[in-house]
Structures are given as C-alpha cells and as structure tokens.
Amino acid sequence: MTNTSTYTAPLPDPADPLTGPHWAAARDQRLAVQRCTSCGALRWQPATICPECLTTGGEWTDLAGTGTVWSYTVYHRAMNPAFADQVPYAVAMIELDEGIRMIGMLTGTDIAIGDPVRAVYDPVTDDVTLIRWERVDAT
C-alpha cells in the first residue's frame, strides 16, 4: 500500500474525541462505527446525538467491512494538490452489508456500481491507518 515515510496527504486526527475510536479500530484492522444504545441504529459519520431517536451517546461496534458500491467517481485531476501523485483515483459511496453508507477511496479505478467490495487497511503513519475499499472479484 502506502510508504509511511512519504505520505503527505491530509490525515485525520486520531486523538479527536468523536472519531478517535474509529481510527483506533482501523489501526487494529477493524471497521468500527457508532451504534445508538437506545434504538440500535448504526451511524456514520460519528455524532454525539443519534439522528434517528435523538438520544445522546452511543457505543462503538465492529462491522464486517464488506458492502457494495452504491455510487462512485474517478478523479483525473486531484481535488487537493496533496493527492496529485495518486491521480487517477476513485472515491465511492459504499453501502455496507449492515445497511449504512460510507464514503472512501478505492484501491483501483476498475469499478462499477453494484460491485462487491471489502475494507482494506493502509497504515500511512505510525498513528493513522486509513480504510480503503477494494473490489471483491467473483470466483
């Protein structure tokens, strides 16, 4: 994947109190999202209040890390100069098997809506592991 000594693109803050548990799970090669402790709804992006029942709080839960491409685009010009060396790259909205959607970068550009994908973990620094999505080839 990425050479951790040369990664120069923007990174999330693994110490952020709202998203930190997600990035800690990614370092352990797990995909974790929040689940409401009241109604059970899964949510991504993390939030302090459940958008379904408005209960505060929530717990972090691991998901399978599999889903399908719901939508995607291929960038031929970097949206941020820090990604110029990665062009062309694809970004997709993934509908996870558990029903919620998450946006992420794909590992390649040979992709179509409806393709099955799985999470792969890219340790870009000692503290940050990014989640990418790769197509699962049918066997």
Q: Specify the pTM.
A: 0.89
The gap between the terminal CA atoms of the chain, to the nearest Å, is 24
Q: Which domain range does residue 96 map to?
A: 64-139
Residues 71 and 139 in one domain: yes
Q: Are 104 and 31 within 8 A, CB to CB?
A: no
Residues 29 and 19 in one domain: yes
112 CB neighbour count, 10 Å cutoff: 8
Checking 120-123 for CB contacts under 8 A at 24+ apart, the result is 120/1, 121/26, 121/29, 122/1, 122/2, 123/1, 123/2, 123/4, 123/27
Tens-of-pLDDT digits for all 139 residues of the chain? Answer: 554 557 889 999 999 999 999 999 999 999 999 999 999 999 999 999 999 999 999 999 999 999 999 999 999 998 889 999 999 999 999 999 999 999 999 999 999 999 999 999 999 999 999 999 999 985 4
Residues 127 and 77 in one domain: yes
Give the chain's domain count: 2
Residues 118 and 138 in one domain: yes
Flag whether 3 is in a domain.
Answer: no
User: Where does a domain end: 48, 63, 78?
Assistant: 63
3-state secondary structure of 48: coil
Flag whether 76 is in a domain.
Answer: yes
Residues 55 and 115 in one domain: no
Residues 32 and 53 in one domain: yes
Flag whether 1 is in a domain.
Answer: no
